[in-house]
Homo-oligomer: A and B are copies of this chain.
Amino acid sequence: MKRSNRLVSLTNYFIENPEDHRSLTYHAKQYNVGKASISEDLDIIDTVFQDEGLGYLHRAAGAGGGVRYVPEGSEKNGKQFIKTLCEQLEDPSRILPGGYLYMSDLLGEPKTVREIGRVFASKFIHRNIDVVMTVATKGIPLAYAVASFLNVPVVIVRRDPKVTEGSSVSINYVSGSSRKIQTMVLPKRGLKEGAKVCIIDDFMKAGGTINGMISLLKEFNARVHGIGVLAEADDEEEDRVVEDYISLVRISNVDAKRQEIQVLPGNYSILN
C-alpha cells in the first residue's frame, strides 16, 4: 500500500480507536511495510492532529513500545466550543416553568454530544479512568461520548431495578434541592471492585444526584477519579454538596417572568 493510502487508513484507525496502544510491528504488518515507513506516517499524522487541536500520538520506545492516539483536545477548541454552547443556551425560548431550561434539542445532536465528550475526555484522559458512570436518562449520550474517547465502558445507574439487569445493589440518598429521599440502583455485574470511575451528568443543582452516585460507588469499593457536568445551576452554590467537578456551562439568573437568562462558561474555562 502506498503512503497516501496508508495515511488515510491509519488516520481512520486512530480516530476510531483512541487510547488503544499497539506496537509498530502490528501496524507494519497490517500494511506489509517496514517499521521505519510506519514511523514516518505517524510523524505526519501526529503533526496534523496537533495542528488541529485533536490531541497527539503518544509513542513508547523499547520492546513493549508502540503508539496510541491520545485525544486530548486543545483548550482553545474547548473554550471556543463552550462559548458557542453558551450562546445557544441563552435563547429565552428555552426557559420552562420552574426555571428549568430546555436542552433536549442540543443533547439530541450527535455532533454536539460528541464535542461535549471530547472536552470532558481531554480533562480526564490522564486520570486512569476504568469506567464512565451516569444516571438515566439525559446523561447517557454524554457518558458514551466521553467513554468513546477514553476507550472505557459505560455503566448506567437507574432509579428502579430492571429484570434485564440481573441482581443489583441499591441505595437511598437525599436529593439536594427537594430534600426528598430517592433510590438508585446499579446491576451487580456493572462495576468491578476497586474501579476508577468518572461520573458524567447533564445537569447539577445542589449535587444530590451525583452525591448519590458517589455513595453507590462506595458499595462497590470503587473510587471517583473525575466528575463532569454539562451545566451547573449557580443559584444552589451555597448548598452544593459536591466539590471538585468540572462544568462546561453555568446557568444563572433564570427569570421565567421576564424571560431572561444568563449562561456563562463553567469552571472548565477557569480551572486551567
Contacts and interface: CB of A to CB of B under 8 A. Distances in A.
Contacts of A141: 140-141, 144, 154
A272 interface: no
A98 B165 CA distance: 12
A109 B11 contact: no
> What band does the interface of chain A fall in when counting residues whose beta carbon is under 8 Å from B?
35 or more
Main secondary structure on chain A at its contact with chain B? helix
Nearest to A93: B189
A166 B96 contact: yes
Contacts of A109: 153
Contact of A12 (B5, B11, B137, B203): B11
A102 B165 contact: yes
A147 B48 CA distance: 27
Contact of A4 (B7, B15, B102): B7
Contacts of A148: 110-111, 114
B154 A110 contact: yes
A5 B164 contact: no
A7 B4 CA distance: 7
A163 B48 contact: no
Interface string A88-113: 00000000111011111100111101
A3 interface: yes
Contacts of A153: 105, 108-110
Contact of A8 (B48, B151, B156): B48
A141 to B, nearest CB: 5
A207 B5 CA distance: 45
Q: Which 5 A-B pairs have the closest CB atoms?
A: A110-B148, A11-B11, A8-B48, A108-B153, A136-B137
